[in-house]
């Protein structure tokens, strides 16, 4: 079976979607987190949240903009994460500046105008760190050090010195980027019909494969032996861990290539389901018919139709 290869096309509207959602999504989410962080900052959870929104908004732009280039998806996942975190730190900068301005106002009275106050703040950062503006603020904040540990209070908890504060910020950024990339890149690797200019429809489940037959099933699929592969597929949903076998097609043309998607499904002790893609490849129209007909033929001969076992399983997590 040949793998699915994206065409790497990025239409003009795709760039517009990517640029719009990466800046908009980044600024809105980063700004909102900076606002909330004045009262409460959740370690790991907020960076993870920023990662999910970065990846999610990039994935929406990819779908809407019909972006079929995984590298562009990766790049914008990265960029959106950077804009989000930059906006968060930028928001912190803005709010710190505001509270400094209030202090100055309290000291000098109302007759000092905002521009003068800002100049004073810049001069302060310049004096403390050798840089003014946003960079001056960052260096100053790092010098002050942050403290981590107690949720919602900056007073107690584990204080971090300058080096560890920079390191901690770097870790936050890494968390955001890792999650963002993991969501954005696969979105651009989904099968797309270049004739109809649309994404393939959601998968049609043809059956599941029990764990002990997974390996041989995957091998026979890779070797293009569809009739034999079909003998390992059961039309009913077998116990987890299992492989779930779906066929995906373009809804616009019914003669085109069909994508075969195989996902592994397992549940942990708490019953939370997890799906991960094992295989995505292209079948000719004839091969896909061969496969689905062989599965339904074998299930008819094996079982009496007791209940609709092909119906969806309980948890659609993931």
Residue ranges in contact with Zn ion by CB under 5 A:
193, 195-196, 250, 252-253
Least separation in angstroms between residue 194's CB and Zn ion is 8
Nearer to Zn ion among residue 11 and residue 252 (C-beta): 252
Kindly state the greatest CA–CA separation across the chain: 91
In the complex, minimum distance from the CB of residue 191 to Zn ion, in angstroms, rounded to a whole number: 10
Q: Please answer whether residues 282 and 4 qualify as being in contact, where contact means their C-beta atoms are separated by less than 8 angstroms.
A: yes
Query: Would you say 4 or 217 has its CB closer to Zn ion?
Result: 4
Question: Rounded to the nearest whole angstrom, what is the least distance from the CB of residue 171 to Zn ion in the complex?
Answer: 44
* Residue 237 or 249 having the CB closest to Zn ion: 249
User: To 10 degrees, the CA torsion angle through 215, 220, 223, 228?
Assistant: 180
Between 5 and 303, CB nearer to Zn ion:
5
Give 137-206 as a 3 state SS string. Answer: HHHHHHHHCCEECCCCCCCCCEECCHHHHHHHHHHHHHHHHHHHHHHHHHHCCCCEECCCCEECCCCEEE
d(CA 42, CA 150): 9
Residue 247: CB minimum distance to Zn ion, A: 14
Give least dist CB 200 to Zn ion, A.
8
Instruction: Closer to Zn ion by CB, 42 or 201: give it.
Output: 201
Alpha helices in the chain (DSSP H): 12-36, 45-64, 70-108, 114-129, 133-144, 162-187, 214-222, 226-230, 285-302
């Amino acid at each position: 079976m040949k793998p699915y290869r994206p065409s790497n096309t990025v239409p003009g509207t795709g760039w517009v979607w990517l640029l719009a959602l990466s800046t908009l999504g980044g600024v809105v989410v980063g700004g909102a987190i900076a606002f909330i962080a004045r009262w409460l900052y959740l370690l790991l959870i907020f960076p993870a949240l920023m990662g999910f929104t970065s990846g999610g908004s990039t994935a929406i732009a990819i779908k809407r903009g019909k972006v079929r280039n995984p590298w562009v998806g990766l790049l914008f996942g990265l960029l959106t994460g950077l804009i989000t975190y930059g906006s968060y730190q930028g928001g912190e900068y803005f709010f710190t500046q505001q509270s400094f301005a209030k202090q100055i106002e309290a000291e000098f009275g109302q007759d000092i105008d905002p521009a003068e106050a800002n100049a004073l703040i810049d001069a302060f950062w310049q004096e403390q760190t050798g840089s003014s503006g946003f960079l001056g603020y960052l260096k100053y904040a790092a010098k002050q050090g942050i403290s981590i540990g107690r949720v919602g209070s900056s007073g107690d908890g584990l204080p971090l010195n300058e080096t560890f504060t920079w390191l901690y910020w770097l870790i936050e950024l890494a968390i955001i980027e890792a999650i963002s990339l993991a969501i954005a890149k696969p979105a651009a690797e989904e099968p797309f019909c270049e004739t109809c200019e649309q994404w393939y429809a959601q998968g049609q489940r043809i059956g599941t494969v029990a764990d002990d037959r997974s390996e041989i099933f995957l091998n026979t699929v890779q070797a293009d032996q569809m009739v034999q592969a079909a003998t390992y597929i059961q039309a009913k949903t077998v116990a987890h861990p299992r492989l779930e076998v779906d066929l995906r097609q373009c809804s616009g043309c019914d003669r085109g290539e069909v994508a075969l998607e195989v996902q592994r499904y397992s549940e942990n002790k708490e019953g939370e389901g997890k799906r991960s893609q094992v295989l995505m490849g292209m079948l000719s129209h004839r091969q896909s018919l061969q496969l689905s007909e062989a599965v339904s033929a074998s299930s008819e001969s094996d079982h009496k139709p007791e209940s609709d076992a092909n119906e969806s399983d309980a948890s659609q997590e993931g």
